[in-house]
Amino acid sequence: MKRILFVITTIICGFSTTRAQFTTDEYKLFNHLDLGATIGTTGIGLEVSSPIGQYLQIRTGVDYMPHFKYDMDFGIQLGDEPGKKFDENGNLTHFGKLSEMLKGFTGYEPDEYVTMVGKPTFTNFKFLVDVLPFKNKKWHFTLGFFAGRQTVAKAVNDITDAPTALAVNIYNNLYEKVLNEEEIFMGLELPPDVAEKFLSYGRMGMILGNYRHDIIDEEGNLLYKKGEPYRMYPNSDAMIKSHIKTNKVRPYFGFGYGNTLSRYKKINCSFDCGIMYLGGVHVYTHDGTCLSHDVTDYSSSIKGYMKLFNNIKVYPALNFKISYRIF
């Protein structure tokens, strides 16, 4: 908020200085300055505007999207089997038996689902030019751009699912040691029958789809083949994270209508409708995988979200503004 106020104050001071140099009846440059508050699909914001001739107006400011949360559930899977503790007959599944074993062995029990909590991180600087073609100066057409960070939203597992993420990491660590025939701890090894069960179960994680193409590391080694399932595991901190990226600079085109609310035109209101070009929306997980480019055949838990994200190219910008004429 301090940064926003600093930007707005700097802009106002700049307009005031420029006004002293260029305000004339002939050019009508910066002969008044409006300070406004906006609210809409780009968030809440502050904006300053001033004319640069009879038919043009410039606007600049900052929009901030308040943080709100949106929950999404992702199912845990053991190997290729869904992480259900009981089958249709009420009997313990492999996942159920393993959950009980992990709880008794470590004190942490994996749940069937992990809840991801998403929130926007959508803050934009904007610079817009209005064209006012009509005599009454009420309608305007706008060109300009919004600019901000590439990351516009983040998601992380709910804090109540931390034990599940930790249990998944513990199990996968044990699985890797059994797979590589390593000792578990200080010479301790799992009994052969238990080790055999571990290997038959497979790794535990969240299958989000299949790889769209071969995944090669920086040294040219093949990590995963096209068509293999993509499993997302908790990171080393037992956290599951993802984020959404778009272009930093987002061109804007729109139109709007404004009118005065007071006799001396001190208080005005306006409405803007337009589109912000995002250049595509890309979803990344904490391991660097781009779900938009690297994964296909999405699982049911993310299929609806990814269908939406993969088709988004523009963002609707609908905003209402109340402004006060400073001079």
Prediction pTM value? 0.82
- Which residues sit opposite 325 in a β-bridge? 34
With a CB cutoff of 8 Å and minimum separation 6, the contacts of 64 are 4, 43, 44, 45, 122, 123
pLDDT in tens, 43-70: 999 999 999 888 899 999 999 999 888 8
- Give the residue-averaged pLDDT of 2-28: 46
pLDDT in tens, 217-275: 888 899 999 999 999 999 989 899 999 999 999 999 999 999 988 777 789 999 999 99
